[in-house]
Structure 1
Amino acid sequence: MKTHLWGAICASALAFATATLEAAPVSGQGTWETTLLPRDLTGDGVADAYYDTVLDITWLADANLAATEAFGTAGINAGTMAWDTANTWIANMNAVSYLGYSDWRLPTLSPINGSAFDDNFAYDGRTDSGYNITAPGSAHPGSTASEMAHLFYNTLGNTGWYDTSGNTTGCTAPDYCLTNTGPFANIQPSNYWSGLEYASNTNRAWDFGFYDGNQLTYLKSFTRYAWAVRPGDVSAVPLPAAVWLFGTGLMGLFGAGVRRRTR
């Protein structure tokens, strides 16, 4: 602990601190404490997933499962992979009915205007490309069009790299704008693939930056992280609230050590 604190203070150890310190759950930030319900799918008293009552989807508790469980998928490096590999990873996960389910997928998005994607870049959330999509105060506050944007801005209450006027917000290393991870383990302050191809150029796919809150399209050959979700709720052993909160407290204490092993 002292080593990490000293590394955060000393300029000579800044790189070390950046690689080891991680964001943690923040009580009162966002809606996660009431809108993410823990689901124990193995009966061991630990949440394996969280049901999102707003989006009506279930998120895996481990946001970088691919770093430790590749399901026989080649081309994964510490959890990062090209878009086609990410889809193969999901398919292999479903082939073995991971945690009892065979309908896992990558997070998705739909047009924010309800009809057609607008990929013109904007800071105020009025288009599908840019910052503050679904953020409170944006052009479309509360929109659930983008599952990852809604999780980042609304559920976890994080702030984008730019505000709705295009001014920087002061996000800093090591986690930049990812100040709250909620109950999840191993959310990486980096880019995550969506499961949606970019219709205007099928060599590209949509992704979301959990370090800056930016939604864009990238070449499918780029490497990104992958987070598995599934539609609806799951049949699970309910966890008492006290157990859930205790678990998130432990995650805050030990999250950095866990994430070091998954990078």
Structure 2
Amino acid sequence: MKAVAAVATLCLLAASANAALLSRLGGQAYYDDVLNITWTADANLAASTTFGAAGISNTPGLEGQMSWDTAQSWIAGMNAASYLGVSTWRLPHMVDINNDGCLNNFVFNNTDCGYNVVSVGPNASEMASLFYQTLGNLAYYDTSGVPQLPGLGIQFTGPFANLGNTLYWYDLATTSNPPLADLPSPDNAWYFGMPSGGQRVTGRATINPMTA
């Protein structure tokens, strides 16, 4: 079983014509028959189960959030515990198409950085595939950069519990972005934003939710 834990980026699914989410492990996980991976049913499992990882927020309203490095520890603990009888959990994958980070290539369509990012084919990001293809959500901006929704917020969450309007980590770190005002450190990682459908990088120390 290919098992995926979404850390600080979200794992949600809703049935569509393109993909089916099939209940697994007594309803505690869902298999995506397009990506060939299995997601935990609780999109914020870390809020209730830390697997011994330190640094996970328990602040009201921010429960389960963590930095990218803490997310690595959380996944390691999850596998050590063989959660749901599985020891191959990981964060969602994405492809940095030109290995250039997310600095000069932020656009509104068909790339790895921005909105309406690649969600099908070999360069598809797993979270983008879930958000756009499986769940049928729209990005806040259309492919011309014009707002197409009345406000920020995920529209469809599918059968998942605790799939929220927050950011979820990918498994890919990057040092491609030079220091900027909003990214003072080169130690960054990719994330997917459920409120807007945006995909980009932020500092690895940023506190985001973790889901599997």
| TM-score interval, normalised by the smaller of the two chains | 0.7 to 0.9
> Do the aligned partners of residues 96 and 212 (structure 1) sit closer, same or farther apart at CA in structure 2, a change above 3 Å counting?
same
Query: Relative contact order, CA 8 A, sep 6+: which one is greater?
Result: 2
Displacement of 1:226 after TM fit? 1.6
Q: Secondary structure at the match of 2:23?
A: strand
Is 1:60 matched up with 2:40?
yes
Distance 2:100 2:45 in 1: 30
Matched residue pairs, number? 185
Aligned mate of 2:164, from 181, 188, 197: 188
Q: Secondary structure at the match of 1:87?
A: helix
What are the Cα deviations for residues 188-207 of structure 1, in whole angstroms up to 9, with x where unaligned? 11100111101415510000
What are the Cα deviations for residues 108-164 of structure 1, in whole angstroms up to 9, with x where unaligned? 11245xx64563100012x211000136xxxxxx33620001100110000101000
Distance 2:172 2:39 in 1: 17
* Counterpart amino acid of residue 205 in structure 1: A
Name the larger-Rg structure: 1
- Partner in structure 2 of residue 146 of structure 1: 125
Runs of 5+ consecutive residues of structure 1 not aligned to the other structure: 1-23, 136-141, 229-263
Q: CA RMSD in A?
A: 2.1
What are the Cα deviations for residues 222-251 of structure 1, in whole angstroms up to 9, with x where unaligned? 0111222xxxxxxxxxxxxxxxxxxxxxxx
TM-score, L = length of structure 1: 0.65
Runs of 5+ consecutive residues of structure 2 not aligned to the other structure: 1-11, 58-62, 178-185
Greater helix content: 1
Distance 1:158 1:62 in 2: 19
Is 1:216 matched up with 2:194?
no
Q: Secondary structure at the match of 1:88?
A: helix
Is 1:30 matched up with 2:27?
no
Q: Which runs of 4+ in 1 moved over 6 A?
A: none
Is 1:71 matched up with 2:51?
yes
TM-score, L = length of structure 2: 0.80
Distance 2:77 2:206 in 1: 21
Distance 1:85 1:158 in 2: 29
